[in-house]
Each structure stands twice: as C-alpha cells, then as structure tokens.
Structure 1
C-alpha cells in the first residue's frame, strides 16, 4: 500500500514530462488566452463561433489532460481503455479542423478592422484584440496539429497508449 502513492507520482511526473503532456498544457494555455481575449471584449457575429470552439476545446482538453494525468482513462465508458489513443487522436483532428476555421474568421475580422490601426484614429477599435486572438488561434491550431502528428505516429506503430 505504501508504494501506491509513489507509483501515482511517477505516472504523473512521466505524463507531465512527456511530449503529449507538454502539448496539452500549451493547448490549455493558448486556448484560455484565445477565449479570454475574445470574451473580455465586445464581439459579434462570427466571433461567437470562435468563442464556441475555444471554450469547447479548452474544456475537452482540460478533461483529457486530467484523465490522462490521473491515469483514469479505463474509467471512461466507450472512449477509454484501449480506445484512449484513438479518442485523443479524434479530438485533436476535430480541434485542428475547427481551429482552422476560427483562424480564417479571426484573420477576416482583423483585416476588416485594419482601418483603425492608425494613431490618429480616436474611436474604440478591435483591431489589436482580433490580431491577438488570431495569434492565439494559430498557436492553438499548431499545438493540436502537433498532437495529431504525434498520435498518428503512435497509432501507426500499433501503440494504444497516449504516452
């Protein structure tokens, strides 16, 4: 019984130092940066979709992170156990595709607000907010793409675990 907490600590440490553990932390940080940037400012129209993607995948990634961190994937019905790598890979593919759409929206919104990027412009302007959100969306998409490549590589080798 004394070895149990030590083994849990080793599993946690192993995951936090793994490629996927680091990528998941970056996804959580960049995703939070995106949705906080958007939600803290006035937004309308298609930005709602960007906010939906950011918050949805932030929450899902947080769940995947903690389930994997605590090594409890066997407790997840239908998606856990030997399907956990496939579940993570599917999550990352969908996130990458939807973040690509979010990037397109943010770039469009940034370009349409570029007129107010002048020092002489005195009215409230969302250009810098949209530009910052576009950068966060790109960083999110890149980290999800990296995890797709990593998961696809592990899957092609016949592995069933995420680390």
Structure 2
C-alpha cells in the first residue's frame, strides 16, 4: 500500500497513538525515577522491565508513526497488529510483578515517612515509582483491550 502523507498526523491523534505516547511518558518516568536514585535487589527487575518496554514501545511507536511496519521482517506487514498485541500483553504481564516489587519496597520503607525522621529515605521515591508502574500497566492494559477488539473484528491494522 502506498504511504499516505497524512498518516503520521492521523496516527498521533488515534487512540493507539495517544496510548503509546502515554506508555513512553510513564515508562520514562518510572525508569528515570529509579535510575536517578540509589537502588538495589529486586528493583533491578523493575528497572529492566521499564527500560526494555520503554525501548520496545518507542520502536513500535516510530515504526507505526512513519508507516514503516512493512519493513520489519516476520513481524511487520499484516502481522503488525498481532505483534503490537503480543508486545502489549507481555508488557502488562511483566509490569504486574514490577508493581508488586515497588509496593513491597514502598511498604518496607514506610517507617521513614515521618516528619521527625532525618536520615535519607527512599519511601517517596519508591512510592513515585510504584505509581508510575501502575500507570504503565494501566495504559498497556488499555492497548491490549484495544488491540484484542481490533483482532476479534478481523482487522489487520493497528489504527
């Protein structure tokens, strides 16, 4: 199919375009919040999930924005909707344990949320990261529902 000159503009205003932008923004918020602070242990998993899906979502976003999904071997063309759906399902599934890790870490550091506590405290950082992880999971679930509905209707394209 020939590329249409208005496709990028149309994609940016579509439901999936807006959701992808939110996924990129919330994912960046999550990994920047974690990476800008001292982290250890199971937080490495959260950072791995955040960075991996941020990069993959960025790639999907730009390939779709530039209408270049046909150039992706094996996954592009008529399989692009299924590829996006599989990506979104994997992201939503892996964000669930990431949320659990962030909630656990937040609860473990809740003791230092007192005004009288004067030592360095990771509570607010973990709480912020937990909120970003929840927002990420939510927007990936939205795109799973959207992609699944399109797939069930027999559609082949993401928008």
Of 108, 111, 119, the match for 1:112? 108
What TM-score, normalized by structure 1, do the two folds share?
0.95
Q: CA deviation at 1:79?
A: 0.3
Partner of 2:86: 90
Of 25, 35, 39, the match for 1:29? 25
Q: CA deviation at 1:90?
A: 0.2
C-alpha distance in structure 2 between counterparts of 1:11 and 1:160, whole Å: 16
Deviations 1:118-157 (A, max 9, x none): 0000100000000000000000000000000000000000
Partner of 1:40: 36
Gaps of 5+ in 1: none
Deviations 1:19-38 (A, max 9, x none): 00000000000000000000
C-alpha distance in structure 1 between counterparts of 2:18 and 2:85, whole Å: 16
Aligned length, in residue pairs: 158
Show the 5 A alignment for 1:1-163: 7-8=4-5, 10-163=6-159
Deviating above 3 A after TM superposition, structure 1's stretches of 4 or more consecutive aligned residues are: none
C-alpha distance in structure 1 between counterparts of 2:97 and 2:156, whole Å: 30
C-alpha distance in structure 2 between counterparts of 1:160 and 1:42, whole Å: 44
What TM-score, normalized by structure 2, do the two folds share?
0.98
Give the SS at the match of 2:99.
Answer: helix
Q: CA deviation at 1:89?
A: 0.1
